[in-house]
Structure 1
Amino acid sequence: MDANLKLRKQVKNEFMEYLTLHKHRKTPERFAILDHIYSTKGHFDMDTLYKSMIEVNFRVSRATLYNTIDLLLDCGLVIKHQFGGNISNYERAYGNENHNHLICTICGEVWEMKNDDILTPAQLKKIRKFNVSYYSMYIYGVCSKCSHAKKMQLRKLTRSVKDKTKDK
């Protein structure tokens, strides 16, 4: 069985157990949203999710999306991130490697970086009475594109000031 298909079946079963335990309805829309999220990798916001569901010809209301995301967050199948700004980003909780998020404070772009060496097995053993499921770190800074644009803007400004002082 394909690894992604196996993962999607596993999360569907977990979601089914969660819905049963908490006496929520098991609607086809909820399972379609879960399957759609686990069919793709990476971060998404609610608008992106809504548009991508429509692109695959699955009509779902925004209210259903928001309600389902709340359920998926509560049962631990989706992770919510606030990288800055007013938009929440999400990603699936299972099937992702532990990774760091590099966030540019100027353009808001987010990159993922593997963090295999952040916590070694020996360090994980030192965390007593705590079972680590996953971890993530946010690293804020300025990307090379924004840094270059800032340098060019500064050069332009410096030239402009030099030209004005020459004219006087």
Structure 2
Amino acid sequence: MQNSHLQAATLRLDQFLELKGYRRTQERYTILEEIYSHQDHHHFDAHQLREILLSKGFHLSMATIYNTLELFADAGLIKKHQFGTTASSNYERTLGSRQHDHVVCLDCHHVKEFCDPRMATIENTVGDWFQTRVLQHSLVFYGHCTDELCCHKIEKNTN
């Protein structure tokens, strides 16, 4: 059984493709299913996504992956992030995701999420100051993990 987020994403993709006059290709739906099939919310880059798809027997070019990710971002199905000075973009699904912000480790590049209800007050205050209706924001903290037993540091050091 499909999860409700995947069903909503599939419906949105159907509507977006029809509105734009784009073809409904199996590759697009395969990539969408991979992104939305996970129960946990995660960040990924194009190369990680391709590796997962390859391991499942789907042989897609990097051009197809990149083009599809851009299309999904335009459709509001994923959000694109540029964390720090890394050359690659990171992505996360948008449907079923609550508003959150990020903490990025400068050592292993692991991305952690947090949600602080005070951010809504800050958005409203900034909107009032600048007479702007704030629709969204992006906040990223960068730092070094102080947990000596951080599993992400260990994984990074073994590669």
Partner of 1:10: 8
Query: Which residues in structure 2 correspond to 1:39-58 (within 5 Å)?
Result: 39-40=37-38, 41-58=41-58
Equivalent residues, number: 142
Higher relative contact order (CA 8 A, sep 6+): 2
Q: 1:135 to 1:95 in 2, by over 3 A?
A: farther
TM-score by length of 1: 0.72
Partner of 2:115: 114
> Quick check: which one's helix share is greater?
1
TM-score by length of 2: 0.76
Amino acid corresponding to residue 28 of structure 2 in structure 1: R
Matched, 1:140 2:138: no
Amino acid corresponding to residue 52 of structure 1 in structure 2: I
Structure 1 residue 131: Cα displacement? 7.2
Q: Distance in 2 between matches of 1:135 and 1:5?
A: 28
Query: Which residues in structure 2 correspond to 1:152-167 (within 5 Å)?
Result: none
Structure 1 residue 116: Cα displacement? 3.4
Amino acid corresponding to residue 88 of structure 2 in structure 1: I
Q: 1:17 to 1:129 in 2, by over 3 A?
A: farther
Indicate if the aligned counterparts of 1:8 and 1:35 stay in contact, CA closer than 8 A: yes
Partner of 2:154: none
Partner of 1:89: 90
Q: Distance in 2 between matches of 1:26 and 1:83?
A: 31
Q: 1:62 to 1:116 in 2, by over 3 A?
A: same
Q: Root-mean-square deviation (CA), in Å?
A: 2.6
Amino acid corresponding to residue 13 of structure 2 in structure 1: F
Deviations 1:101-122 (A, max 9, x none): 11123443321122334215x9
Q: Percent identity?
A: 34
Larger Rg: 1
Indicate if the aligned counterparts of 2:79 and 2:92 stay in contact, CA closer than 8 A: yes
Equivalent of 2:27, from 26, 29, 41?
29
Q: Distance in 2 between matches of 1:70 and 1:89?
A: 12
